[in-house]
Chain A
């Protein structure tokens, strides 16, 4: 399944230089673990978002590798030490090659 849902991201719009800000993200995805069997007793094939990455002004600073133990509709929060104004890029990739991206701007107060 391609990732259909638009991700939700919460980033503060402004930060002071040196401030450590929290970023929260959420995306809808069933995260099919590959462990479940359907009514006919056949294993439902695995399909999860396996990689989440965050970059600032093109430079990656945080990456999460998710395994089938991660809950459906994966939530992820993490931190970033603000230095300058710019743009965050977030990306989610799933087993079928589907990808979703989100962008957020940060301005120095």
Chain B
């Protein structure tokens, strides 16, 4: 078991080199890629939320303004909620409107989560908007949107 081991959670030099190699390879394939559009994201959201109105605020979407490497773009989501049994964040959906497939991740939280916060790393094909939609236990929706400028695309771009 590797628990409590002081393993660093960063890619090794070898992994980094592999990623760099893949980025170069992917760039060659770029023109063949079909990318999602804002309309596709809107359609996906309609499927999930049935066109319900979305409030502003509550959702804090933390992404870099400029991502040098589109293969590993850090993303942190933080939703303001007391996270009690009566009032908590049920789920958070993340979309990237310029990727071939716009869905990035869906989180499901519970009151046991303590806070509705999570971080991961994503691929971004090109400069585009990242959108997070949080669904509260009351059914209310809140969204946040942020543009990321990508200098080297994550899946060709």
Contact = CB atoms under 8 A, between A and B. Distances in A.
The winner among B5, B71, B105, B112 for most chain A CB atoms within 10 A is B112
B18 to A, nearest CB: 8
A4 interface: no
Interface of A is mostly: strand
Interface string A63-81: 1111111111111111111
A17 interface: no
A37 B124 CA distance: 17
A79 B11 CA distance: 22
Interface string B106-117: 111111111101
- What 9 A-B pairs have minimum CB-CB distances, sorted nearest first? A81-B114, A20-B114, A61-B112, A71-B121, A63-B108, A65-B106, A67-B103, A69-B104, A77-B119
A72 B19 contact: yes
Contacts of A81: 83, 111-115
Given A10-B9, A64-B120, A71 B3 contact: no
B115 A62 contact: no
Contacts of A64: 105-108, 118, 120
Contact of B71 (A6, A26, A72): A72
Contacts of B26: 36
A36 B155 contact: yes
B15 to A, nearest CB: 6
B145 interface: no
Contacts of B15: 73
